[in-house]
């Protein structure tokens, strides 16, 4: 009888231990599953991360740090999203017992606030773009430099995916479970076409937007400098809707021939546009094409000696029909482009014109910057500015095209009225004027914004519980 009792006691203890072990295992497993959900949410909110492996402290290659292009703060500091340290990397899960009426910490009280029930931690994230079975290294295509290409990757037969590994921990006994999943990655090919901002300002906190009647189309601001979600939609003064986007402005257009031009010769595939800034006599009226009767310059209709098909290459004409005009001296000294009251700078409505201002752009009074055809969209005229853009009123300025000053500030002073059909992109913005923004004919210009198509993450597949190292 004693022997039978001992055997029964041992069996009962084993069953109890197994039950406890299963309970502990299920808790840590649940924490790992919750961690998978939280990190997938992170990828959805910061989709640029989905196509970069976690092989750098700031979640990005050492040569391509992308942490500044995320809405959440991605940090490898203690408790940060990219912290994989076995001691500091755990992110706690707490519940309020008042909301659930459950004794989470087994103290007989079901109303304890903020009870910790477990935690989760990132182990690794690998972007696998070539179906290589070696997932210990970054498998991204080296010839793509991390860019998720809408033509190559959208139809990639190797099924691009993110391999996400997360651990979960039970707060009671410290037991740990580990789960690895595959997150299929696709691409929305309309992403780039549907977000071409009318006003795009790379500025953390826009304090002087001026008047931009709402609704006003796409106004994109840079991320906020603080907060858990630095890309939250915002409303400017007067109810102006704006969205925040952490990606950088596009660079200046690449000219057909290198700068500085010293001097321009007939072989160069670019034209000059003469102007100096400031004084009333130093404006576009000094250019040989200026029509003193109409007070205008028409670009695209070639004058004697101008270059047609100015983006020809050694391999042959690219077929883009763009006409390039450079504002600057032969030695590359910055020179302003100034358009004064009553003057017009227009295109012929057929050619696509790009003006590269190696200096500042000054617009004073009533000015017309557009094209001579109502059928021509804003993509027919681009003005790229290395410096600042100043629009000085009073007066009305009509713009149909793109003004792009990625390193400069756009300043609207003395209450000008700007009728903008197209886009103004700049590093900073300050205004006491009014911008009436028309976005009906958005088109991409000669530059492609440095926004790769945002990848889409789909429901995780291939759930695998792994042994914890």
DSSP 8-state assignment for residue 19? H
Question: Are 112 and 72 contained in the same domain?
Answer: yes
Question: Are 209 and 332 contained in the same domain?
Answer: yes
Question: Are 48 and 84 contained in the same domain?
Answer: yes
Query: What gap in Å lies between CA 97 and CA 101, rounded to an integer?
Result: 5
Min mean pLDDT across 29-38, 315-324, 418-427 is at 315-324
Compute the mean pLDDT over every residue in the chain, rounded to the nearest whole number: 76
Min mean pLDDT across 26-35, 92-101, 143-152, 394-403 is at 143-152
Structure tokens at 98: 């008042």
pLDDT digits (tens, 9 = 90+) for 54-74: 875 567 655 556 777 788 888
pLDDT band at residue 33 using 50, 70 and 90 as cut-offs: very high
Shortest CA distance to 362 belongs to which of 292, 275, 456? 275
pLDDT: is 463 or 261 the higher one? 463
Beta carbons of 433 and 417 less than 8 angstroms apart: yes
pLDDT digits (tens, 9 = 90+) for 93-118: 887 655 555 666 666 666 666 677 88
Structure tokens at 23: 């309970």
Question: Are 259 and 143 contained in the same domain?
Answer: no
Read off φ and ψ for residue 61, nearest 5 degrees.
-65, 155
Question: Are 307 and 172 contained in the same domain?
Answer: no
Is 445 part of any domain?
A: no
Is 431 part of any domain?
A: yes
Query: What gap in Å lies between CA 189 and CA 444, rounded to an integer?
Result: 14
Q: What is the pLDDT of residue 236?
A: 82
pLDDT digits (tens, 9 = 90+) for 5-26: 443 433 343 344 334 344 447 8
pLDDT band at residue 134 using 50, 70 and 90 as cut-offs: very low
pLDDT > 80? residue 219: yes
Could you tell me the sign of the dihedral formed by the alpha carbons of 233, 236, 242, 248, in that order?
negative
Query: What gap in Å lies between CA 367 and CA 337, rounded to an integer?
Result: 13
Q: What is the pLDDT of residue 135?
A: 43
Question: Are 163 and 219 contained in the same domain?
Answer: no
Min mean pLDDT across 16-20, 303-307, 316-320 is at 16-20
Question: Are 243 and 171 contained in the same domain?
Answer: no
Average pLDDT over residues 179-204: 77
Question: Are 178 and 223 contained in the same domain?
Answer: no
Q: What is the pLDDT of residue 21?
A: 42
pLDDT digits (tens, 9 = 90+) for 135-169: 444 444 433 344 444 444 445 556 778 899 999 99
What ranges make up the beta strands (E) of 100-218?
A: 115-128, 161-170, 176-187, 199-201
Separation of CA 193 from chain center: 14
Percent residues over pLDDT 70 in the chain: 67
Measured in Å, how far apart are the chain's first and last C-alpha atoms? 45
Is 296 part of any domain?
A: yes
Is 2 part of any domain?
A: no
Is 449 part of any domain?
A: no
DSSP 8-state assignment for residue 316? B
Per the listing, tokens 């992403």 go with: 191
Is 6 part of any domain?
A: no
pLDDT > 60? residue 303: no
Q: Which of 328-342, 395-409, 453-467 reaches the highest mean pLDDT?
A: 395-409
Strand partners, 61: 64
Q: What is the pLDDT of residue 416?
A: 96
Q: What is the pLDDT of residue 77?
A: 83
pLDDT digits (tens, 9 = 90+) for 434-458: 999 887 665 556 776 555 556 778 8
* 0.85 exceeded by pTM: no
DSSP 8-state assignment for residue 47? G
Question: Are 268 and 161 contained in the same domain?
Answer: no
Q: What is the pLDDT of residue 405?
A: 97
Q: What is the pLDDT of residue 342?
A: 95
Is 87 part of any domain?
A: yes
Is 10 part of any domain?
A: no
pLDDT: is 310 or 368 the higher one? 368
Question: Are 323 and 250 contained in the same domain?
Answer: yes
Q: What is the pLDDT of residue 11?
A: 39
Question: Are 159 and 292 contained in the same domain?
Answer: no
pLDDT > 90? residue 226: no
Q: Which whole-number Å values give the CA distances from 220 to 18, 39, 197, 399, 411, in the listed order?
A: 57, 26, 6, 19, 17
pLDDT digits (tens, 9 = 90+) for 340-393: 999 999 988 777 888 999 899 999 999 999 887 777 778 889 999 999 999 999
Question: Are 161 and 56 contained in the same domain?
Answer: yes
pLDDT band at residue 232 using 50, 70 and 90 as cut-offs: confident
Q: What is the pLDDT of residue 93?
A: 86
Our count of domains for the chain comes to 2
Shortest CA distance to 382 belongs to which of 235, 247, 252? 252
Domain that holds residue 164: 27-189+454-466
């Amino acid at each position: 009888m004693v022997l039978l009792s001992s055997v029964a006691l041992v069996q009962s203890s084993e069953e109890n231990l197994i039950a406890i072990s299963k309970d502990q295992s299920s808790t840590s497993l649940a924490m790992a599953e919750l961690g998978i959900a939280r990190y997938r949410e992170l990828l959805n909110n910061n989709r640029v991360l989905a196509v970069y492996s976690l092989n750098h402290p700031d979640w990005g290659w050492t040569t391509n740090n992308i942490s500044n292009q995320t809405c959440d703060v991605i940090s490898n500091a203690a408790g940060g999203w990219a912290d994989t340290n076995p001691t500091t990397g755990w992110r706690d899960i707490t519940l309020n017992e008042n909301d659930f009426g459950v004794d989470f910490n087994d103290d007989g009280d079901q109303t304890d606030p903020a009870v910790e029930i477990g935690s989760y931690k990132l182990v690794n994230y690998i972007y696998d773009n070539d179906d290589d079975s070696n997932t210990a290294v970054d498998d991204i295509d080296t010839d793509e430099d991390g860019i998720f290409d809408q033509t190559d990757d959208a139809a990639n037969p190797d099924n691009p995916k993110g391999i996400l590994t997360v651990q979960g921990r039970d707060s009671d006994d410290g037991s740990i479970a580990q789960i690895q999943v595959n997150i299929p990655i696709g691409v929305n090919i309309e992403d780039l076409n549907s977000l071409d901002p009318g006003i795009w300002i790379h500025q953390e906190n826009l304090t002087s937007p001026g008047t931009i009647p709402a609704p006003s189309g796409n106004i994109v601001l840079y991320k906020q400098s603080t907060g858990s979600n630095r890309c939250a939609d915002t409303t400017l003064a007067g109810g102006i809707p704006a969205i925040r986007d952490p990606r950088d402005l596009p660079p200046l257009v690449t000219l057909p021939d290198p700068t500085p031009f010293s001097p321009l010769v007939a072989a160069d595939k670019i034209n000059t546009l003469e102007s100096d800034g400031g004084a009333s006599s130093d404006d576009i009226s000094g250019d040989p094409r200026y029509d003193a009767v109409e007070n205008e310059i028409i670009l695209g209709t070639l004058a004697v000696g101008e270059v047609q098909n100015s983006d020809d290459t050694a391999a042959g004409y690219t077929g883009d029909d763009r006409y390039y005009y450079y504002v600057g001296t032969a030695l590359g000294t910055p020179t302003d482009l100034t358009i004064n009251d009553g003057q017009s700078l227009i295109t012929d409505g057929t050619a696509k014109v790009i003006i590269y201002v190696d200096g500042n752009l000054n617009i004073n009074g009533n000015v017309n910057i557009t094209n001579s055809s109502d059928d021509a969209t804003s993509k027919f005229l681009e003005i790229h500015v290395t410096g600042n853009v100043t629009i000085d009123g009073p007066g009305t300025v009509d713009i149909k095209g793109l003004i792009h000053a990625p390193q400069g500030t756009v300043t609207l002073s003395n209450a000008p009225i700007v009728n903008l059909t197209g886009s103004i992109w700049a590093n900073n913005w300050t205004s006491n004027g009014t911008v009436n923004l028309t976005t009906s004919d958005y088109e991409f210009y000669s530059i492609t914004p440095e926004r790769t198509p945002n990848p889409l993450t789909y429901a995780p597949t291939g759930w695998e519980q792994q042994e914890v190292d």
